[in-house]
Amino acid sequence: MTKTKIIFMGTPPFAATVLQGLIDSNQYEILAVVTQPDRKVGRKQELRMTPVKELALTVNLPVLQPEKLSGSLELTQLIALQADGIITAAFGQFLPGKLLDSVKFAVNTHASLLPKYRGGAPIHYAVMNGDAEAGVTIMEMVRKMDAGDMIAQSAIPITDEDNVGTMFEKLAIVGRDLLLETLPKYLSGELKPIPQNEDEVTFSPNISAEEEKIDWTRTSREIFNQIRGMNPFPVAHTLWNGERFKIYEAKVADENSVSVLTGKIVEKTKKSLKIACGKGTLELKIVQPAGKPKMDIASFLNGLGQKIQVGDKFGE
C-alpha cells in the first residue's frame, strides 16, 4: 500500500492525540513534525518540550521548531520534502502561502463548530459562554484564519461538570477519530467540502489578562462559566487582601437572589464560603491564594482564611 506523505503540525496535548492516531493508523508516512519551540515553564523556569515533540521523538520522527515559520530555513526544508499534504491541529502559527501551494492538500483539525469561534481559543469560549455543546471541524486550510471549507463536523455536550481541561481531552478524541474517518473519503473525492456561512462567523481570540478578572456584578451562572472556562488555564482570579486569589472551581449556590453586596461573603462555615454576585451566590470549591499551592476551600478556611468573616469583600 502506498502511504500518503504528510507533514504534521501541532503543539499541545490535543494535537498529540491527533498525531498518535495518525501514527497508529499506519496509513500515512509522516515526513516531519512541526511544533512550537521549547518554552521555559514553572517557578524554576525549566525548558519543556511540547507534547507533540515528546511524542514525535519517541517514534523517531524528524521535528522542526521554528519560532516563526514564514521566511525561516525550516520553511525551505518543508517545501523540499515534497509532501502530499499537511495536517494541522492547534499548531499556533499561520501557514505561509508558499507552503500551502507546495502540497496537494492541507487540512486542519479545529476544536470548534465552525463558523462559530474561529481563532485560537474556541473551547475556552464555548465553556465561558455556557454553550450546550462543543465540537470539532475538519476543514481545508486557506490563507485566511479558519475560513476554509468544512469537510466534516462532530459535536458533544458540555455538562456543568466540564471545564476547559476535560473538554480538551474529550474533543481531542473526537478530533482524532473524525480526522481518521473522513480524511480518506476527502482524499478520494467521496466527501465534498462545504463553504462556511459568513453571516454566522464569530471569533475566539486568545484570552486577555482583563478577561481573567472576575467581575462580581455578573450573575453567579456567568461567573461559574468563566471559572470553569479558564480551568486549568489561564485560571480566573479576584483580589483578596489586595493580592491575586485564583479560583479553580466553584458551584452555583443560588441563581435568583439579588444583592447589592457584590463580591462580599454572605455565608461562611468550616467547609464553605459563599459570595454574593450581581444575581445569585457562588460557593467556592478549589482556590489558590497568592504564593500558596492550590487547595480545597476547607483547607483555606482552616489556614490562611481563618480570620475571614461574613461581610469581607473579594475583588477591587
Return the pLDDT at 42.
76
pLDDT at 288: 96
Mean pLDDT per 10-residue segment, the chain (316 residues): 94 97 97 96 86 97 96 96 97 93 97 96 97 98 94 98 97 98 97 97 94 96 98 96 95 89 92 94 96 95 92 90
Q: Which residues fall in the annotated binding site?
A: 112-115
According to the model, what pLDDT value does residue 261 have?
82
Domains of the chain: 4-200 (3.40.50.170), 209-313 (3.10.25.10)
Burial class for 159, CB neighbours closer than 10 Å (0-12, 13-18, 19+): exposed
Q: Extract the annotated binding site for (6S)-5,6,7,8-tetrahydrofolate.
A: 112-115
Report the pLDDT value the prediction gives residue 191, as an integer from 0 to 100.
96
CA angle 53, 171, 153 (to 5 degrees): 115
pLDDT at residue 284, as a whole number: 97
pTM, entire model: 0.93
Burial of 145 (0-12, 13-18, 19+ CB in 10 A): exposed
Q: pLDDT at position 43, please?
A: 72
Q: Quick check: 152 and 138 in contact, CB under 8 A?
A: yes
